[in-house]
């Protein structure tokens, strides 16, 4: 397939490398000047990919959108008039709600979303480290997307395991809950994910989970509080040496994904008349940190 990766961050670079290795024609799109881009994964041989070359967009069968949730609209909308109408748009990012304001502009494209638990770390301008083996869940967002379930085989062949899910919304909520429990706390306390295993964090994490579960239930998302707590514990343990993406954003004074993670839960809670005070206080805390570099 002709595949363009929009947003060569850590996850974008990982998919680019793996898809190229599987024999696809892969190109990148980002914010640097057009040219060629040398990409290295771990200690594997370097590969060279086209970068910001308009013809790659015109011929794209698949656009893999790997920018952060808050960047989706500004990164994608200027590219739409260069894409063929049948180009499949597949989004991979933390958080939910990024497509809510784009439904009109995107409604004719096959739309899919994926959520992944692979660990990836950008090193310098051209390198990515695969820091943890994970799973990717893939599902359709609209009827045209449902006709693209063949993509699960394409992606599985490149970077397994990839599972097709009939309700990607459910999978995205599960990942959202994990991010709500880990990301703001690690960013505020400037610590690795593993710190959250300590006893002093347990009451706070328990309250966060209880609030998120109440919102998920109101949204009719199947959820079991005990199972969700256990899965959050497993992610904390499995990624204990890692810094979360929000800790990294705060440490490097970049905008965080808080509006699409905790902010999404707060928005949904308000729609159901539910109180989520613990999430709200973390949301305010992250915003007050961000105000130091985003006026």
Interaction residues for ligand KPL, span 95-124 (CB under 6 A): none
In the complex, minimum distance from the CB of residue 283 to ligand KPL, in angstroms, rounded to a whole number: 16
Q: Does 179 bind ligand KPL (CB under 6 A)?
A: yes
Closest separation between CB of residue 44 and ligand KPL, Å? 23
In DSSP terms, 127 is beta-bridged to: 40, 123
Using CB under 6 A as the binding criterion, the count of chain residues that bind ligand KPL stands at: 11
**136 binds ligand KPL per the rule CB under 6 A:** no
Residues in the chain, total: 295
**Peptide bond just before 161 cis, omega within 30 deg:** yes
Query: Is 56 one of the binding residues for ligand KPL (CB under 6 A)?
Result: no
Among 56, 94, 214, 229, binds ligand KPL (CB under 6 A): 94
The binder of ligand KPL chosen from 178, 180, 266, 289 (CB under 6 A): 178
Kindly state the smallest distance separating residue 36's Cβ from ligand KPL, in Å: 30
Of 175, 220, 267, 268, which residue is the catalytic one? 175
**Per the structure block, which two tokens stand in for 30?**
């980002």
40 bridge partner residues:
127
Q: Kindly identify the residues of this chain, within the stretch 234-273, that bind ligand KPL according to CB under 6 A.
A: 235, 239, 242, 244-245
Helix-helix angle 277-290:202-218, to 10 degrees? 110
Which CB sits closer to ligand KPL, 137 or 245? 245
Q: How many CB atoms lie within 10 A of CB 246?
A: 25
Q: What would the 3-class secondary structure string for the chain be?
A: CEEEEECCCHHHHHHHHHHHHCCCEEEEECCCCCEEEEEEECCCCCEEEEECCHHHHHCCCEEEECCCHHHHHHHHHHHHHHCCCCCEEEEECCCCCCCCCCHHHHCCCCEEEEEECCEEEEECCCEEEEEECCCEEEEECCHHHHCCCCHHHHHHHHCCCEEECCCHHHHHHHHHHHHHHHHHHHHHCCCCHHHHHCHHHHHHHHHHHHHHHHHHHHCCCCCCHHHHHHHHHHHHHHCCCCCCHHHHHHHCCCCCCHHHCHHHHHHHHHHCCCCCHHHHHHHHHHHHHHCCCCC
- Provide, rounded to whole angstroms, the least separation between the CB of residue 54 and ligand KPL: 32
Binding span for ligand KPL by CB under 6 A among 64-72, 85-93, 149-157, 176-184: 176-184
Nearer to ligand KPL, 68 or 268 (CB): 68
- The contact mask relative to ligand KPL for 195-234 (x = CB under 6 A, - = no) is ----------------------------------------
Residue among 136, 183, 256, 279 that touches ligand KPL (CB under 6 A) = 183
Measured from the CB atom, the residue of 229 and 242 that comes closer to ligand KPL is 242
CB of 239 to ligand KPL, least distance (A): 4
Toward ligand KPL, which CB reaches closer, 193 or 262?
193
Tokens 């994970």 — which residue? Answer: 134
Tell the smallest beta-carbon distance from residue 2 to ligand KPL (Å): 29
Catalytic-residue membership of 21: no
Say if CB 38 and CB 46 are below 8 A apart.
Answer: yes
Active site residues: 175
Interface positions with ligand KPL (CB under 6 A): 94, 178-179, 182-183, 193, 235, 239, 242, 244-245
């Amino acid at each position: 397939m002709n595949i363009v990766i929009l947003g060569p961050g850590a996850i974008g670079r990982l998919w680019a490398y793996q898809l190229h290795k599987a024999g696809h024609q892969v190109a990148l799109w980002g914010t640097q000047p057009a040219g060629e881009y040398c990409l290295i994964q771990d200690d594997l041989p370097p590969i060279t990919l086209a970068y910001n070359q308009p013809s790659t967009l015109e011929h794209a069968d698949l656009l893999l959108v790997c920018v952060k949730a808050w960047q989706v609209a500004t990164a994608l909308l200027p590219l739409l008039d260069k894409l063929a109408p049948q180009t499949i748009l597949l989004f991979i990012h933390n958080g939910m709600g990024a497509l809510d304001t784009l439904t009109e502009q995107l409604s004719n494209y096959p739309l899919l979303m994926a959520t992944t638990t692979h660990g990836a770390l950008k090193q310098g301008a051209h390198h990515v480290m695969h820091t943890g083996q994970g799973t990717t869940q893939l599902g359709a967002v609209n009827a045209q997307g449902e006709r693209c379930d063949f993509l699960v085989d394409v992606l599985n062949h490149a970077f397994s395991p990839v599972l097709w899910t009939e309700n990607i919304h459910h999978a995205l909520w599960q990942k959202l809950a994990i991010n709500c429990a880990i990301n703001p706390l690690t960013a505020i306390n400037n610590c690795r994910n593993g710190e959250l295993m300590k006893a002093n964090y347990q009451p706070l994490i328990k309250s966060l989970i209880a609030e998120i579960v109440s919102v998920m239930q109101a949204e009719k998302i199947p959820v079991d509080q005990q199972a969700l707590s256990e899965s959050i514990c497993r992610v904390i343990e499995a990624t204990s040496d890692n810094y979360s993406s929000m800790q990294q954003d705060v440490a490097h004074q970049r905008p965080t994904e808080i509006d699409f993670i905790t902010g999404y839960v707060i928005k949904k809670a308000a729609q159901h008349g539910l109180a989520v005070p613990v999430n709200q206080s973390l949301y305010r805390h992250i915003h007050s940190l961000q105000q130091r570099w985003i006026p």
